[in-house]
Amino acid sequence: MPCNPRHRVIPAPANDVSPAKARAASRRFLEAMSTRRTIRDFNPSRPVDPELIENAIRTAATAPSGANIQPWRFVVVTDPEARTRIRERVERAERTFYEGPLTEWHEALTQLGTDWHKPHLTDAPYLIVIFEVHQGFGEPKPYYVKESVGIAVGLLLASLHQAGLATLTHTPSPMRFLNAILGRPVNERAFCIVAAGYAAEDATVPDIARKPLDEVVAWRDRIDPDVGGSG
């Protein structure tokens, strides 16, 4: 019996599958997600079933969060005027960046072929602006906000991809203007914009590759007593 009366428990959801089914499900998901790419060319005339967006947000909202505060807000933008205003503000800042002094960030972006034009902000049928929700206006103090919201966005992207939709994550800088355009309170801070819709028939992606597994994982099945200290 928990000593804290606020700590109530219910049975954990059943999620037990056989080893064979587990491997098959894992491989199917890996195969599907291996085709996920950031898409910059959207088909503005192909409609998207709103349920796909709603289900993706429901999925995102299952993410773990610090103290279960769930410090996220998903603002779905379909209004053409709002999207036009967002694009104008974003492109103004992006043009200043791209036409400014060269930096390491410019160099890193060369392989992606990006520039200050951001047509996805008006071409994609949906813009999902994800906000971090901080304390204020009746909201409790959140913990590990960016970590929690980041996990939620990952689930959002996975769900949208599983539904056959193309996505692009965008983090304009600065982002506070989004509060004004979308009428959000000051305790909400934009985390990123996700453009979602169907890819254009002639869409292309940069010829780049993901790192192999041995570059992104380290297995440790025991602690080497000769490495590191005891502090």
Residue with tokens 């104008």: 88
Contact 217, 180 (CB under 8 A): no
Q: Structure pTM?
A: 0.92
Are the CB atoms for 160 and 80 separated by under 8 Å? no
The conformational region for residue 67 under phi > 0 = left, psi -120 to 50 = alpha, else beta, is left
Asked if pLDDT for residue 3 goes beyond 80, the answer is no
For the segment 45-51, the average pLDDT, to the nearest whole number, is 97
- The confidence band for 231, taking pLDDT boundaries of 50, 70 and 90, is low
Domain parsing of the chain, residue ranges: 66-201
- 95 vs 85, 100, 153, 172, CA distance in Å? 15, 8, 27, 11
> Is there a contact between 187 and 135 (Cβ–Cβ < 8 Å)?
yes
Task: Domain 66-201: give its CATH superfamily.
Answer: NADH Oxidase (3.40.109.10)
Once rounded to an integer, what is the mean pLDDT over residues 202-227? 89
What is the reported pLDDT for 224? 73
Category of 200 on φ-ψ map: left (φ > 0), alpha (ψ -120 to 50) or beta: beta
